[in-house]
Amino acid sequence: MLLFPSEIEQNKKLIRQYCRKKRHELFLRGKLDRISKLITENILKSNIFKNSKHIMLFYPLKEEINLLELLKCDDKFFYFPKCDGKNLLVCPNTGNFEKNQYLIPEPVSPPIKDLSILDIIFTPALCADESKFRLGYGGGFYDRFFTLNSLRALKIIPINEEFICKSLPYDKYDVACDGIITQYHEIGINT
C-alpha cells in the first residue's frame, strides 16, 4: 500500500509529484511493461470484460499502464478519448491517431453521439484509494466526463498495486470510479 509522507498527504499537487517520481523509478527499472502485461491478463480473465462489447481505453504515455494489447480482441468495439476544450469526446478506434496539444495520441475518427453504449471506461490514474477515488493529472477531464447523464459504463482504474493508498484528498468535483484492477486482483468489481 502506498504511504505518503505526512507533509504531503492532503496536497494533491505534492501527491502527483510524489507518484510521478515513484512511477518514473519503476519505469527506469524496466518494471512497467511487466505490470501492464499482468494487468491486461487480469482484465482478459475478468467476467466484466468478457461480458462487455463497447470499451473505452486510453492511449498510454510512456510511463502509464499500457492496455493496448486488448485491441487484439476482435469481438469488442474499442474507443479512445479526445480532448475538446475542457471536455472529452469518445471516438471509435480506427488505428489512426494524431497528437493533441498535450502530446497525447488521439483518434482522428469522429466522436460517437450515444455514450450509453459504453460498457467499460478504463481510466488512467497516478494513484487511487480504497474508496476508488483516483488522482489524475489535475485537468479534471475524466471527472467532468463522468458526470454526463448518458453514461452507464463501469469506470475501472487499471493501476499498479503499489499505487493504491488508504485515502486521497478529494473535493465535490471528484468522481469515484466503480472498481480497480491491479496486477494481483480486482477491487470493488461485481462480476
Q: Which residues pair with residue 98 across a beta bridge?
A: 106
CA neighbours within 13 Å on the CB side: how many for 59? 21
The tens digit of pLDDT for each residue in 135-181 reads 998 899 999 999 999 999 999 999 999 999 999 999 999 999 999 99
Higher pLDDT, residue 145 or 7:
145
pLDDT at 48 over 80: yes
pLDDT of 32 over the 70 cut: yes
> What's the whole-number mean pLDDT along residues 33-44?
97
> 3-state SS string over the chain?
CECCCCCCCCCHHHHHHHHHHHHHHHHHCCCHHHHHHHHHHHHHHCHHHHCCCEEECCCCCCCCCCCHHHHHCCCCEEEEEEEECCEEEEEECCCCEEECCCCCEEECCCCCCCHHHCCEEECCCCEEECCCCEECCCCCHHHHHHCCCCCCCEEEEECCHHHEECCCCCCCCCCCCCEEECCCCEECCCC
- Average pLDDT, integer, range 58-77: 96
Instruction: Using CB atoms within 10 Å of the CB of residue 167, give its burial: 0 to 12 exposed, 13 to 18 middle, 19+ buried.
Output: exposed
Q: What is the mean pLDDT of residues 180-185?
A: 95
Return the pLDDT at 33: 94
Q: pLDDT tens digits, residue range 76-134?
A: 999 999 999 999 999 999 999 999 988 889 999 999 999 999 999 999 999 999 999 99
CA distance 13 to 3: 16
Q: Residue 191: is its pLDDT beyond 80?
A: no
pLDDT of residue 190: 65
